[in-house]
Structure 1
Amino acid sequence: MHTRDLHDPLAMTVVSSHRTSEGVVSYLKCSCGVWEVRTALLVGTATPGARSKMTID
């Protein structure tokens, strides 16, 4: 599956979910490593390795 495609929400693991003043925000992770952030109006994705890893020196 291409990372820009939406993943099947039933095949993803809910890692965290919380209520905000604008509604519920859910963080889901697919077995392929892609993360999705879902709200009632928005779905955002992040792929592993898309950004360099930050370290604290």
Structure 2
Amino acid sequence: MHTRELHDPLAMTVVSAHRTSEGVVSYLRCACGVWEVRTARLVGVATPRSRSVRSID
């Protein structure tokens, strides 16, 4: 999935998780490069930037 929609949490890999005073924060990564940060009340998504190849003419 390469859209701004949420990824299937079962298809993502948990990279890190820790407990805070407001609950557990989990950092997940999809094979396509999208990162999600999940808490009990919030899901943040970061998509990778496309890289352009520059040539010297």
Is 1:30 the counterpart of 2:16 in the alignment? no
Residue segments in structure 1 that go unaligned for 5+ positions in a row? 51-57
Contact 2:29 2:36 in 1 (8 A): yes
Report the structure number with the largest CA radius of gyration. Answer: 2
Give the % identical residues: 84
How far apart, in 2, do the equivalents of 1:7 and 1:30 lie?
8
Deviation, structure 1 residue 3: 2.8
Aligned-residue CA RMSD (Å): 1.3
Residue segments in structure 2 that go unaligned for 5+ positions in a row? 51-57
Corresponding pairs, count: 50
